[in-house]
Amino acid sequence: MEETLQYTPVKPDKLSSSWTIIHVLKITTTRACWMQCRFCDFSHFVPLVGNNPVKPLALLNLVQTDPRLDGPYDLVKIRGGLSFFEPWSYFRSAIRHIHTRNPAPIQALSAVELMHFHRVEKKPFQELLEELRWAGASSLGPGGSELLWDEWRQDVAPLRLSAKEWLRIHQLAESCGLQSRASLMVFPGITGRHVHDHLAVLKQLRGLSVIEIKPFRPTPLFTVDHPHTLDLLAVVQLIRQELPHVLIEINIDHISHDMRDLLRGHGVSRALVTQEEMDA
């Protein structure tokens, strides 16, 4: 397997101009997390007790009263860190309230959170997923699939679930009627082997319909940011070659307009725009 990513320049007459804007309501459950993954902004601290107590979540009250939940959205995203105090039933009830207030599809939690509740409450994955579907979720979030390559995961997120565990949870989710969604984090130094191995895992999901690509950068991404921009475009090309039926999406909140044009022209067909963000 060739290590270096190869970007093939595309002629203007071969570029696609299709581009769907997805207006997102993003609900963050908690910014506290014990996993300490190096790429995640929820892992800046570990919640403590005693002198540094963590306040109980206000999520349930928020989703019952906040007027922003009545707005028109194309997608509601519920994600966050890992709570030490609130039980699974708390989050299930909150998702149910969101579903009754807003008709938009709900992307709720991820395999990472489900693994957490499976370990803490000893609930079978099947039961967790069926309850999530009952509450109104239409899909699992892609969290945990940043790069399904265990050597990389051991280096940057050793406490996170393995690639095999992530795949198993999403396969069960599909059997429960939940849609599969995945991501791919494009970081400086990513290789062709990383991407091919990642996509090889995703090919085992029968119902995978969307991959969200995530540029790993602390600042906005611009076309002049060589060579990372070429890596990003090369990754898009590999996804289109190996999984041509899958839609590719990216959050464009922090991407320059010229970069958006390049991505659209190379086959990124869905643009996520955070219309509202609610912190619990």
Summarised one tens digit per residue, pLDDT across range 54-72 is: 566 788 888 888 888 999 9
**pLDDT over 60 (residue 223):** no
Average pLDDT of the chain to the nearest whole number: 85
Residue 48's pLDDT is: 47
Average pLDDT over residues 207-228: 72
In this predicted structure, what is the pLDDT of residue 257? Answer: 83
Cβ-contact 67, 35 below 8 angstroms:
no
Taking only the tens place, the pLDDT of each residue in 86-145 is: 899 999 999 999 999 999 999 999 999 999 999 999 999 999 999 999 999 999 999 999
Looking at the chain, how many residues does it have? Answer: 280
* Model pLDDT for residues 36-47, shown as the tens digit of each residue: 787 777 655 544
Looking at residues 10-16, what average pLDDT do you find? Answer: 53
Which H or E run includes 199?
Answer: helix 192-202
The pLDDT confidence band at residue 209, using thresholds 50, 70 and 90, is very high
Distance of CA 183 to the CA centre of its chain: 6
State residue 160's pLDDT score.
87
Give me the residues paired with residue 272 across strands.
22, 251
| pLDDT value at 254 more than 80 | no
Show me where the domains of the chain are located: 12-279
Confidence band for 51, pLDDT divided at 50, 70 and 90? low
CATH of domain 12-279: 3.20.20.70
- 277: three-class secondary structure by DSSP: strand
